[in-house]
Amino acid sequence: MNRHLARFMAVSTVVAMTAGGAMADDFIVVQSTTSTQNSGLYDYILPIYEDKSGVQIRVVAVGTGQAIKNARNCDGDVLLVHAKPAEEKFVAEGYGVERTDLMYNDFIIVGPPADPAGVKGMKDASTALNKIADSENIFVSRGDDSGTNKKEVALWKAAGVDPSQSSGQWYRETGSGMGATLNATIGMDGYTMTDRATWIAFGNKADHEILVEGDKALFNQYGVILVDSEKCPRVKSDLGQAFVDWMLSDEGQKAIASYRLDGKQLFFPNAPNVTN
């Protein structure tokens, strides 16, 4: 069946079912990275879709690694995360139908205004991390296999530094989400890496500020995937596909683009073949 025809039929099925009245199971579960939740994006865009479709979206917001693990365990209908190699592996192993770019923003390195490592204004993230390591100033890592943590580990590798050798010394791993990690960073007057959306929405910045930004290596791509019903028979494929299609549609992409905090756009839609 033609892919576009299949998507049209999925959306039509949802519309027909919801038009006939509320269903007992008119919801889907989205396994998601925390940044989309913590930033307030879901609070903004999901009511738009729920009002339109009559389908409730239940979000499980955890680190990307845990979200993928949950989806592998068939505990979800849709996966929305930000670690492209892991997402592609998820699809290649048959757990996802198709991975599609959805939106992007970037990662940043934040720290105290005194900047004892001297990284402020640097555009090369790996070089900045190298300076932080050399100075042995505190760097706080999520250490939780999230998309942010995966990116951080890759940047340390590019810097030629193994921070795990200094674990518990200048390198502190929280094993927690971004909000808790930022709170720990502020409390220890240290450095950390975060996605920009979470930083903008974070309410406990104290005097910490963005010190390193603008490196292409800090690009942060999000993808969306329908969990494959061949691996997970309980997946609500029609409802899940309809939600994925809406997120990738002109309407969904414009909703993502219109979400702002303090006048700042947090996510930039980039689904293929969509006019934004």
Kindly provide the residue ranges of all beta strands, DSSP E only, lying in 18-170, ordered along the sequence: 27-32, 56-61, 78-81, 96-111, 139-141
Which distant-in-sequence residues (6+ apart) come within 8 Å of 1 by Cβ? Answer: none
- Give the 3-state secondary structure of residue 143: coil
Instruction: For residue 275, tell me if it sits in a domain.
Output: no
Confidence of residue 14 (pLDDT cuts 50, 70, 90): very low
Which distant-in-sequence residues (6+ apart) come within 8 Å of 98 by Cβ? Answer: 91, 225, 226
Instruction: Examine the domain organization and report whether 143 and 188 are in the same domain.
Output: yes
CATH code assigned at 171: 3.40.190.10
Domain that holds residue 180: 107-218
- Give the 3-state secondary structure of residue 60: strand
Residue 60 has pLDDT above 50, yes or no: yes
Instruction: Examine the domain organization and report whether 97 and 168 are in the same domain.
Output: no
Instruction: Examine the domain organization and report whether 151 and 207 are in the same domain.
Output: yes
Q: Of 8-17, 147-156, 253-262, which range is least confident? A: 8-17
Instruction: Examine the domain organization and report whether 38 and 172 are in the same domain.
Output: no
Residue 81 has pLDDT above 90, yes or no: yes
Instruction: For residue 42, tell me if it sits in a domain.
Output: yes
Confidence of residue 274 (pLDDT cuts 50, 70, 90): low
Tokens of residue 183, six digits:
């709170």
Whether the CB-CB separation of 87 and 223 falls below 8 Å is answered with yes
Would the pTM of this model clear 0.95, i.e. be above it? no
Distance from chain centroid for Cα 157: 22
Reported as a single tens digit per residue, the pLDDT across 190-218 is 999 999 999 999 999 999 999 999 999 99
Instruction: Examine the domain organization and report whether 169 and 98 are in the same domain.
Output: no
- State the angle between helix axes of 147-159 and 64-72 in degrees (0 to 180), rounded to the nearest 10: 120
Instruction: Examine the domain organization and report whether 82 and 158 are in the same domain.
Output: no
Mean pLDDT confidence for 39-59:
97
Instruction: For residue 21, tell me if it sits in a domain.
Output: yes
Instruction: Examine the domain organization and report whether 247 and 123 are in the same domain.
Output: no
User: Where among 195, 218, 241 does a domain terminate?
Assistant: 218
Mean pLDDT confidence for 213-225:
98
Residue 24 has pLDDT above 80, yes or no: no
Instruction: For residue 72, tell me if it sits in a domain.
Output: yes
Tokens of residue 157, six digits:
């590798």
pLDDT (0 to 100) of residue 100: 98
Instruction: Examine the domain organization and report whether 198 and 126 are in the same domain.
Output: yes
pLDDT (0 to 100) of residue 251: 98
Reported as a single tens digit per residue, the pLDDT across 99-141 is 999 999 999 999 999 999 999 999 999 999 999 999 999 999 9
Instruction: Examine the domain organization and report whether 90 and 154 are in the same domain.
Output: no
Instruction: For residue 276, tell me if it sits in a domain.
Output: no
In 3D, which of 226, 227, 236, 242 has the Cα closest to residue 14?
242
pLDDT (0 to 100) of residue 127: 97
Return the number of other C-beta atoms located less than 10 Å from residue 174's C-beta: 19
Instruction: For residue 45, tell me if it sits in a domain.
Output: yes
User: Where among 218, 237, 255 does a domain terminate?
Assistant: 218
- Report residue 42: phi and psi, to 5°: -65, -40
Instruction: Examine the domain organization and report whether 29 and 154 are in the same domain.
Output: no
pLDDT > 70: what percent of the chain? 90
Residue 3 has pLDDT above 70, yes or no: no
pLDDT (0 to 100) of residue 275: 59
Instruction: Examine the domain organization and report whether 78 and 117 are in the same domain.
Output: no
pLDDT > 90: what percent of the chain? 89
Instruction: Examine the domain organization and report whether 72 and 168 are in the same domain.
Output: no
Total tally of structural domains belonging to the chain: 2
Whether the CB-CB separation of 38 and 196 falls below 8 Å is answered with no
H/E run at residue 183: helix 178-188
Interatomic CA distance for residues 113 and 38, integer angstroms = 24
User: Where among 218, 241, 259 does a domain terminate?
Assistant: 218
